[in-house]
Amino acid sequence: MTRTDVLSGAPSDLRDRAARYALLPLRLFLGVTFVYAGLDKLTDSAFLSASGAGSIGDMMRGVRDTSAIPALVDLALKAPVGFAVVLAAGELLVGLATLAGLLTRLAAAGGALIALSLWLTVSWAVTPYYYGNDLVYLVAWLPLVLAGAPYLSLDALARRSEGSSSRWRLSRRTA
């Protein structure tokens, strides 16, 4: 007979498995979204322009006066195309690392930093605040910053590999 959790009524092994993989949907969503966002920017010639409809330059000039940190926008406007490429490449790298579970905490911190910078500049003036998605992305990255990707990830594979090699070294020394 399977032990059942008293509070939830679910078998404890199922509940344990669900808890173990609870961050996986968030990791997949954020990874796919950031890969898509990066690729979308890198393949949009209008976005990768200093001026014109849909350009990073026009967008940044449009949000400058309503952003929380206009100096950050001014810095981006010194080289808008370079900024756009760095932003897109950052999103792409963060997304790929998150999907693979490679240096997940670092990748999540990068995703949180991107979301924070976009919230403080592009979506700062959105009212009510919950209509702006950058704040939601910032908060969504925090569980992965704290927990990383303990399962189904290259990080977990590396930890497991380190553990087995250190056990092997220990057993060789004692033999």
Q: Give the per-residue pLDDT at 98.
A: 98
Q: Give the per-residue pLDDT at 1.
A: 45
Q: Give the per-residue pLDDT at 175.
A: 45
- Range list of β-strands (E), 13-111: none
pLDDT at 148 over 90: yes
H helix count then E strand count, the chain = 8, 0
Q: Phi first, then psi: what are they for 4, rounded to 5°?
A: -110, 140
Task: Return d(Cα 122, Cα 86) in angstroms, integer.
Answer: 16
Task: Return d(Cα 53, Cα 165) in angstroms, integer.
Answer: 56
* SS3 at position 11: strand
Task: Return d(Cα 15, Cα 123) in angstroms, integer.
Answer: 38
Please give the model's pTM, rounded to 2 decimal places: 0.84
Task: Return d(Cα 158, Cα 164) in angstroms, integer.
Answer: 10
Per residue in 35-94, pLDDT (tens digit) is 999 999 999 999 999 999 999 999 999 999 999 999 999 999 999 999 999 999 999 999
